Every structure is written in C-alpha cells, then in structure tokens.
Amino acid sequence: MNYGPLIFLAAFFALAASWFGLVLTPQMQVGHLTQTNTVPAEETYPLARMGLARQGLDVYRANGCAYCHSQQIGQTATVCNVVLAGAGTNKTALIQALLTLKTNWSEAQAAEFVAKLPQPVVESVTREEADVALKALKVGGAKSELWVVPVGPDIARGWGKRRSVAEDFLYDSPVMLGSQRIGPDLADVGTRKADVEWHLRHLYAPAVEVNGSLMPPYRFLFERRRIERARSPDALALAGKLAPETGYEVVPTPKATALAAYLVSLRADVPLYHTPLTVAAPPASTNEVKAPGVTGTNTPGMTGTNGPGTALTNSPGAAVTNAAGGAGVKSNSASATKAPAK
Ligand code: HEC
C-alpha cells in the first residue's frame, strides 16, 4: 500500500501546528504592540530611547553584558495597602473605625495615628480585605486611598517596582533580555543608579565602586591620554592605584559614553494598565518617607505619649527608655516608681 500522501499530510500538520504555536501566536500577541498610556497620568509609554542611549544598546550587546545581566523583573503577586490620607471632620468616629480594624490598638494609639496622616492602615492584604478596610474608614469625610503594590523576590531585592512587560522593550531591537544573573537585573538600573559618572567609573573599575565586585573591568572602552592644554571635563576622577600618572588622564570613548547613557535610560517604573502599581504623587511623597518606617513611627510615637499613658503595655517603648537612660539609674527608677502609681 502506498502511504506517501498520508505521511506527507502527517508531516504537514505537525509542522503547521508548530508554526501556529511558535511563530503565528507570539506574532499576534506581541508583534503589533504599539505605544500605550501610563495609568493614571495618561502619558505615552514607552518613548524611543534618545540617540546616544540607542547607540549604547549596541555597545551593551557587543560586549556581552547580557551574559551576566538579565533585564526582566519578575513579580509573584500584587497586594494592597490602605492608606489613610485625611482625617475628615469626625475624628471620634474615625478613631472608632480604626479600632475595629486594629483590635490591639488603644484609643490613645489610634488618636496618635490620626494625628500623623497620611499613613497606611493595613498593608499587604488582598483586594477583598482592603475593600473591607476602605468601607470601614468611610466615616466623617475621612479620605483613604487604595495602594497597589507588586511583590516578589526581584522587587524585594530592589531591582524594580513592577514586573517587566513587552512594552518596556518596544524600541529595543534586538532585545537583550539575558537569562543569567551573575550580576543584578538591569531592567530598572536607571532609577537606582542615575549618575552617568558612576556608571563610567564602575565600567572602568567595578571593584572600586563596589567592594569585591566580580564584574570584569571594561578598560578598553576608555582611553588613557596625555593632557594637552587642560584636563578634559570628561576625564574620570580616579584615585589611588588606578589614577593615571601625572600629565595623563583617562577619558571615556564614545562607546563608553553611549553605554552609560543607555544604562541610565533603563527605567521600568511607570504603572501600566496591565501592571498596576501606585506611585506616590508629588504632594503625597511624604508617604514614601513614612511608609517604610510605619512601625518605626508608631513605636517612638508611643513612647512619646507614654509618659502618662500606656507605658505598661508597651514593652518596646519600655526597652527604649531603659536603653536610653541606661546609665541613668534615675530615669529607670523614676519610671519604676511611676509604674505602680498608675
Ligand atoms: C562576568 C559577569 C558580568 C559581565 C559580563 C558584566 N557584569 Fe555588570 N555586574 C556583574 C556583577 C557580579 C555585578 C554586581 C557587583 C557590582 O555592582 O559591581 C555587576 C554590576 C553591574 C552594574 C551595577 C548594578 C547595580 O544595581 O548596582 C551595572 C550597571 C553593570 N553591572 C553593567 C554592566 C555592563 C554595562 C556590562 C557590559 C559592558 C556588564 N555589566 C557586564 C557581573 C557582570
């Protein structure tokens, strides 16, 4: 029997199926990506890299940076924080509402909290739990906000604020995503290291900028030359063993300048529709300072009111007073005499 046509059809379908799966579907998913808008600012994203930074991508590729650095941040989940931004008019009702959410708080602690807004009330909860808190805090015109916070190991390392998405690379062709992570992820390196000079010195001598760095130096991207009339403004500020002999200077070649421009242009910190993230608005930027120290602000705050108030329940506060007054037996005995008096 002649199986020829059957074998041909089987091979055809096998190849066609893999073409659909591996070529056509990805092309339909990301092949027609266009610029999108940031949320809620509605700014166009992404913008093409500036000329020098665009050239830097080629230098990045040519020097194999992607062998040790990835440019894709992962994220495991999104959690919610509820931030109380304004107390409104009815403070008593607000304090009662806070006490329903924070059952272990005393009324004095809640009042202390309300005096120092904006502050997060609940952190790292699901959307449902956040909605419960938001509803509870809707009293007397109090203003509370829902913050969306991406979490995951990469974000905990400080490598970025949200996961990388295809749009981030819209104008990078070819994309140097990388898969090895001998060094840190660079998808958002421009926000944590925005200084071009730092990048140049780091490329010239990584171990000088970062103690014990394993990154190889890229000295061939720099030129050591005799100072002609005056020192070049671009010359690297090098000290110690690396400093060139007198009369000489080390200047970056155009390749190094382009690479540094590319590195500072690497930013993936804007919120998009499919990777939501709450960015502190300029007036709310005090939040950023306060947010990490929420527990911190509470504890000193508690010791502050403590004198007359809740000293007995407050063990961390007690420890602080002891430590501070360590040598001062007086302060210890003072609080000791005060305590029974309560
Ligand atoms: C052999 C692996 C390796 C190669 C290749 C490599 N790096 Fe690195 N890189 C590292 C390591 C390890 C670190 C972490 C230590 C440090 O900061 O110096 C690092 C750190 C960095 C940092 C600082 C990141 C931060 O968050 O502080 C930048 C920027 C950087 N590398 C850029 C580059 C560029 C650009 C290239 C290509 C010219 C490159 N690296 C090639 C290993 C490498």
| pLDDT on residue 156 | 94
Residue ID of nearest Cα to ligand 1 atom 34:
65
Residue ID of nearest Cα to ligand 1 atom 6:
65
Residue ID of nearest Cα to ligand 1 atom 15:
213
Q: Enter the pTM of the model.
A: 0.76
CA 65 to ligand 1: nearest atom = 37
Integer Cα distance of 203 and 123 in angstroms? 39
Domains of the chain and any CATH numbers: 47-75+188-267 (1.10.760.10), 77-151+271-298 (3.30.1390.10)
DSSP helix/strand/coil, 37? strand
Token digits for 87? Answer: 């107390």
Integer Cα distance of 215 and 196 in angstroms? 18
Pocket test for ligand 1, best of 61, 68, 189 (most atoms within 8 A of CB): 68
Q: Which of 60, 342, 337 is nearest to 203 (CA)?
A: 60
Alpha helices in 205-313 (DSSP H): 206-209, 254-265, 286-290, 294-306
AA identity, residue 94:
L
Q: From the CB of 218, is ligand 1 less than 6 Å away?
A: yes
276 CA → ligand 1 middle, Å:
29
CA 214 to ligand 1: nearest atom = 12
Burial of 329 (0-12, 13-18, 19+ CB in 10 A): exposed
Integer Cα distance of 342 and 264 in angstroms? 59
Q: Where are the beta strands (DSSP E) in the chain?
A: 36-37, 44-45, 77-86, 119-125, 143-151, 222-226, 248-252
Total residues found in the chain within this entry: 342
Chain centre to alpha carbon of residue 276: 14
Integer Cα distance of 13 and 5 in angstroms? 12
Write out the chain's pLDDT in tens, 342 residues.
789 999 999 999 999 999 999 999 999 988 888 899 988 888 999 999 999 999 999 999 999 999 999 999 999 999 999 999 888 888 888 998 899 888 898 888 888 988 888 888 989 999 999 999 999 888 878 889 999 999 999 999 999 999 999 999 999 988 999 999 999 999 999 999 999 999 999 999 999 999 999 999 999 999 999 998 999 999 999 988 889 999 999 999 999 999 999 999 999 889 999 898 988 765 544 454 444 444 433 333 333 333 333 333 333 333 333 333 333 333 343 333 333 433
CB 44 within 8 A of CB 133: no
Integer Cα distance of 177 and 169 in angstroms? 9
pLDDT, tens digit (0-9, with 9 covering 90-100), for 246-260: 999 999 999 999 999
Q: From the CB of 189, is ligand 1 less than 6 Å away?
A: yes
The radius of gyration computed from the CA coordinates of the chain, to the nearest angstrom, equals: 29
Q: From the CB of 182, is ligand 1 less than 6 Å away?
A: yes
Q: Which of 336, 283, 333 is nearest to 312 (CA)?
A: 336
Angle between helices 91-101 and 127-136 (to 10 degrees): 150
CB 244 within 8 A of CB 192: no
Task: Report the Cα–Cα distance between both ends of the chain, in Å, rounded.
Answer: 103
Integer Cα distance of 261 and 268 in angstroms? 15
- What Cα–Cα distance (Å) separates residue 160 from each residue in 99, 197, 239, 258? 35, 22, 32, 23
| pLDDT on residue 282 | 58
Integer Cα distance of 31 and 46 in angstroms? 16
Integer Cα distance of 39 and 55 in angstroms? 29
